[in-house]
């Protein structure tokens, strides 16, 4: 979803894909291999499909159901904010948490069980999200910090999720199939305007996020990557080569790609002309 379009949006949309500055004194993640093996009632595709079947902005309160997935995106680098993304074998969905430093408890690779009773499923600007509440103005607020452990139960860690390989053509022909999922593109690169640039303009420029364009060698289609000005990799320079891109497929009125860290961008091969 497109995040940080303005300071007002940053303040009012707490589950958007944004970020915050982090210090270097965080606790290491819990690496427990234990798993409660809670009974799971349904798959993530059920709720993703339900959300996409609703009008944009429409939501409903969920009943006594438990879902399970593996965390594929957390807030460690600050490119995601107050949110994790989880995935199972059928689909993926974003979970809004009114909490920071989420990755200490729910890092990438953590299996989690979500007890849904009383939570909200919403079609947020076209993206399926499960969150804590929605007010009359449509503002979403994640699960309150003190209640997160009651709803989000830790499971085994680490668990590997292999990204689904797609082409740009595949993505645009059936984009909703990939919403919130960890995907991989091969033989892509930043376009001429985006290569050799900082991933995101700094907040000093008045910007809260920057879009960079990804293209394939045929230059038949382009994709937009959104990077937060608060991400730890904000000042890093985008590579000029060609290679593989791993990212979360998101949507905020249009398709966008979100990386977890620059290790998701391995553009080390020769650049396509």
Provide the residue ranges of all domains of the chain, joining segments of one domain with +: 7-154, 164-269
pLDDT score, position 4 = 38
Question: Alpha-carbon distance 74 to 177, whole Å?
Answer: 21
Question: What CATH code would you report for 7-154?
Answer: 2.40.50
- How far apart, in Å, are the Cα atoms of 158 and each of 31, 32, 149, 161, 251? 7, 8, 19, 10, 27
Residues of the chain with pLDDT under 70: 1-33
pTM: 0.89
CATH architecture of residue range(s) 164-269: Beta Barrel (2.40)
């Amino acid at each position: 979803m497109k995040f940080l379009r303005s300071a007002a949006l940053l303040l009012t949309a707490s589950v958007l894909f944004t970020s915050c500055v982090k210090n270097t004194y965080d606790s290491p993640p819990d690496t427990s291999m234990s798993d409660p093996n809670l009974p799971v009632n349904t798959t993530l595709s059920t709720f993703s499909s339900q959300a996409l079947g609703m009008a944009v902005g429409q939501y409903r309160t969920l009943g006594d159901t438990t879902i399970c997935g593996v965390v594929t995106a957390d807030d460690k680098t600050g490119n995601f904010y107050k949110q994790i993304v989880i995935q199972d074998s059928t689909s993926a969905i974003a979970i809004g948490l009114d909490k920071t430093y989420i990755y200490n408890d729910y890092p990438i690779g953590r299996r989690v069980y979500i007890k849904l009773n009383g939570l909200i499923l919403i079609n947020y600007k076209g993206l399926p999200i499960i969150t804590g509440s929605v007010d009359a103005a449509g503002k979403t607020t994640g699960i309150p910090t003190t209640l997160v452990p009651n709803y989000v139960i830790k499971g085994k860690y680490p668990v590997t999720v292999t990204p689904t390989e797609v082409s740009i053509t595949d993505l645009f022909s059936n984009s909703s199939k990939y919403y919130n999922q960890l995907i991989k593109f091969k033989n892509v690169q930043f376009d001429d305007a985006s290569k050799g640039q900082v991933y995101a303009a700094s907040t000093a420029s008045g910007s809260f996020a920057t879009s960079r364009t990804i293209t394939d060698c045929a230059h038949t289609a382009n994709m937009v990557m959104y990077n937060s000005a608060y991400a730890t990799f904000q000042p890093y320079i985008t590579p000029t080569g060609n290679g593989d891109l791993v990212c979360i497929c998101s949507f905020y009125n249009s398709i966008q790609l979100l990386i977890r860290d620059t290790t998701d961008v391995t553009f080390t091969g020769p650049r396509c002309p």
